[in-house]
């Protein structure tokens, strides 16, 4: 038995990738072989550069990208599938919006500054990110002056798992294909002063070059191989993305999930008008906002299963709903526990400052200092047992009472964490959800 390291190049192009240039999908294939893939070892590496126009001009002093998640903001979707059978194993939609919540909730500010900053182009402030990353992209004639290097893990349920992934066609998934779908420029880049027209940034775009994927493989011993051939199944986690809008004081969200082992549901909010808008950071995780930019304070949350309160038999009522300068502690506590159970959560960036309902703490001046508001809503079902909750036949729902008193659509990005089982035998792969 031994371990070895593998490097693979994109199968669909050797050129750079860019949403604007019509190359928005990067596909890597880890071929079928008599080995196991260690999912925690997977890294996507390359170079990032941003420009103000088609001539690859200097991006200027105002063009920026989200400082909290850095390069992860370019990932719109992640699709993982079997090469041999083409069976989709996991499909994470709106992945960057998931990362904007997940990283903030589970990583300390020191980690975001340190290891994440070194590998993923995130920095503790908007100003620092603009000066050190986006602002360093430039061409002098035909010569690229600076490449922002990155080498990142791509969090999904499967890649964050601890179980190795068998690559064999006979006793595994038959090779693994990982496709990264890029986000439009207007979701990734923005004018930090909010006026891309005046600052000549309406043609801003980014590109990714020198892409590769590296990972670690385990070659089993004869004894291990005998055990692997008799396994035939792999239990893993998955994240499914959903999208909804709310624009009333009494919002109801319902989805037929079709999943039997739901562990948690995680949500974040942003005004719909902020999305795909070069004047706004689309990766923000804000409180619901009115059309005037005021916080639509949440007064009550109810989670349901088939229309009945579940797993909480009561509403989450906020004691400080009338205060603008205090976080909603009950909501934040439930939110953190849904992203990662308290028994496992050892680090977080959430503070009374970035969960404060005073929106002035989320504008540009605060964003420079600490990444802006970090708010979300979640509910955990793992307290019910290792299998979570069964939503295969009953709809999942949430009711939210707030002060969204005018016609102010807010986007809700919803992520469902569930357990699945992968079955494989002689090149046939199927998923039990």
Is 158 found in the same domain as 89?
A: yes
Residue 222 tokens, joined? 């004869």
* 155 within a domain of the structure (yes/no): yes
pLDDT at residue 276 tops 70: yes
Write down the pLDDT at residue 355: 83
Are residues 196 and 344 part of one domain? no
Judge if 86 and 162 occupy the same domain. Answer: yes
Mean pLDDT value across residues 75-84: 97
- What does the pLDDT average to over 393-418? 94
Amino acid 146: pLDDT: 59
Q: Which residues of 96-115 are buried (b: 16+ CB within 10 A; e: fewer)?
A: bbbbbbbbbbbbebeebbee
Confirm whether 431 is domain-assigned.
no
Over residues 65-72, mean pLDDT: 92
Name the percent of the chain lying above pLDDT 70: 91
What is the residue-averaged pLDDT of the chain? 88
Residues 191 and 262 in one domain: no
pLDDT of 390 reads 95
DSSP reduced 3-state for 398: strand
164 within domain boundaries: yes
Residue 359 has pLDDT above 70, yes or no: no
**Residue 433, in any domain of the structure:** no
The enclosing domain of 325 has a CATH number of: 2.70.9
Q: How far is it, in rounded angstroms, from Cα 337 to Cα 342? A: 6
| Closest to 181 measured CA to CA, from 27, 287, 302, 31 | 27
Query: Given pLDDT bands bounded at 50, 70 and 90, which one contains residue 128?
Result: confident
What's the pLDDT band for 144 if we cut at 50, 70, 90?
low
Number of domains in the chain: 2
Whether 229 and 360 map to the same domain: the answer is: no
**Domain for residue 407, yes or no?**
yes
Residue 74 contacts residue 206 (beta carbons within 8 Å)? yes
In a domain, 426, yes or no: no
Which of 203, 233, 263 is the last residue before a domain boundary? 233
Residues 114 and 252 in one domain: no
Residue 368: what pLDDT?
Answer: 46
Query: What pLDDT is recorded for position 363?
Result: 47
In 3D space, the residue among 259, 263, 413 whose CA is nearest the CA of residue 339 turns out to be: 263
How large is the average pLDDT for residues 151-179? Answer: 95
CATH number at residue 37: 2.70.9.10
Q: What is the pLDDT of residue 135?
A: 74
Q: Are residues 247 and 226 in the same domain?
A: no
Closest CA to 171 of 34, 40, 269: 34
Query: Quick check: 114 pLDDT over 80?
Result: no
Lowest mean pLDDT, pick from 28-37, 267-276, 420-429: 420-429
Spatial separation of the C-alpha atoms in residues 49 and 107, rounded to whole Å: 26
101: pLDDT strictly greater than 90: yes
Per-residue pLDDT at 259: 96
Residues 333, 286, single domain; the answer is yes
Q: Under a CB-based contact definition with an 8 Å cutoff, are residues 272 and 280 in contact?
A: no
| 279 and 189 part of one domain | no
Q: In degrees, to the nearest 5, what angle opens at C-alpha 429 toward C-alphas 427 and 432? A: 160
Mean pLDDT of 147-161: 93
Element of type H or E holding 132: helix 126-132
Residue 430 lies in a domain: no
Q: What is the pLDDT of residue 255?
A: 96
Question: What pLDDT, on the 0 to 100 scale, is given for residue 145?
Answer: 56
Range of 3-12, 57-66, 142-151, 311-320 with top mean pLDDT = 3-12
- Between 369 and 62, the higher pLDDT residue: 62
Q: Kindly state whether residues 200 and 303 are assigned to the same domain.
A: no
- Using one digit for the tens of pLDDT, what is the confidence trace for 187-234? 999 998 899 999 999 999 999 999 999 999 999 988 888 888 888 899
Is the residue at 168 inside a domain?
A: yes
Question: Per-residue pLDDT for 55 more than 90?
Answer: no
Where among 217, 233, 249 does a domain terminate? 233
Q: What is the CA radius of gyration of the chain?
A: 22
Give yes or no: residues 219 and 315 share one domain.
no
* Boundary (domain end) residue, out of 177, 205, 233: 233
What pLDDT does 408 receive? 87
Least confident of 56-70, 93-107, 199-213: 56-70
155 and 56 within one domain = yes
What is the greatest pairwise CA distance in the chain?
67
Q: Which of 101, 65, 95, 57 is nearest to 78 (CA)?
A: 95
Determine the pLDDT at residue 367.
Answer: 46
Q: In sequence order, what are the residues at sequence separation of 6 or more whose Cβ sits closer than 8 angstroms to the Cβ of residue 120?
A: 69, 70, 71, 72, 150, 152
* Residue % of the chain over a pLDDT of 90: 60
Task: Name beta bridge partners: 246.
Answer: 410
Q: Do the Cβ atoms of 328 and 318 come closer than 8 Å? A: yes
Instruction: Please indicate, yes or no, whether the overall pTM of this predicted structure exceeds 0.85.
Output: yes
Most confident of 291-295, 300-304, 333-337: 300-304
Q: Which domain holds residue 126?
A: 2-233
Residue 299 has pLDDT above 80, yes or no: yes
């Amino acid at each position: 038995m031994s371990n070895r390291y593998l490097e693979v190049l994109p199968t669909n192009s050797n050129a750079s990738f860019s949403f604007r240039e019509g190359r928005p999908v990067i596909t890597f294939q880890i071929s079928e072989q008599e080995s196991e893939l260690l999912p925690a070892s997977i890294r996507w590496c390359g170079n990032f550069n941003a420009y103000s126009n088609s001539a690859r001009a200097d991006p200027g002093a105002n063009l920026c990208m989200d400082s909290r998640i850095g390069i992860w903001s370019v990932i719109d979707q992640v699709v993982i599938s079997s090469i041999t059978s083409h069976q989709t194993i996991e499909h994470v939609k709106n992945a960057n919006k998931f990362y904007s919540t997940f990283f903030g909730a589970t990583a300390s500010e020191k980690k975001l500054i340190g290891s994440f900053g070194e590998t993923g182009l995130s920095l503790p402030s908007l100003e620092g990110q603009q000066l050190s990353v986006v602002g360093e992209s430039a061409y002098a004639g035909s010569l690229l002056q600076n490449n922002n290097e990155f080498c990142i893990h791509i969090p999904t349920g499967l890649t964050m798992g601890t179980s190795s992934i068998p690559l064999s066609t006979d006793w595994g998934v038959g090779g693994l294909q990982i496709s990264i779908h890029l986000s439009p420029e207007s979701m990734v880049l923005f004018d930090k002063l909010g006026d891309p027209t005046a600052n000549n940034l309406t043609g801003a775009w980014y590109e990714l070059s020198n892409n590769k994927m590296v990972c670690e493989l385990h070659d089993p011993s004869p004894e291990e191989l005998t055990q692997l051939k008799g396994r035939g199944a792999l239990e893993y986690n998955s994240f499914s993305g959903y999208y909804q809008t709310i624009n009333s004081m009494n919002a109801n969200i319902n989805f037929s999930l079709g999943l039997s082992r739901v562990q948690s549901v995680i949500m974040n909010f942003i005004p719909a008008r902020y999305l795909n808008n070069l004047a706004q950071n689309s990766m923000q995780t804000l409180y619901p906002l009115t059309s005037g930019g005021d916080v639509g304070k949440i007064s009550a949350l109810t989670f349901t299963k088939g229309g009945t309160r579940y797993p909480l038999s009561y509403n989450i009522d906020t004691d400080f709903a009338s205060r603008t300068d205090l976080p909603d502690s009950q909501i934040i506590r439930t939110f953190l526990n849904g992203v990662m159970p308290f028994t496992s959560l050892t680090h977080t960036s959430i503070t009374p400052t970035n969960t404060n309902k005073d929106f002035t703490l989320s504008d540009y001046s605060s964003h420079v200092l600490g990444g802006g508001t970090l708010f979300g809503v979640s509910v955990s079902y793992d307290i019910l047992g290792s299998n979570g909750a069964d939503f295969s036949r009953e709809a999942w729902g949430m009711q939210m009472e707030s002060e969204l008193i005018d016609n102010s659509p807010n986007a809700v990005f919803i992520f469902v964490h569930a357990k699945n089982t992968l079955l494989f035998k002689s090149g046939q792969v199927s998923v039990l959800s």
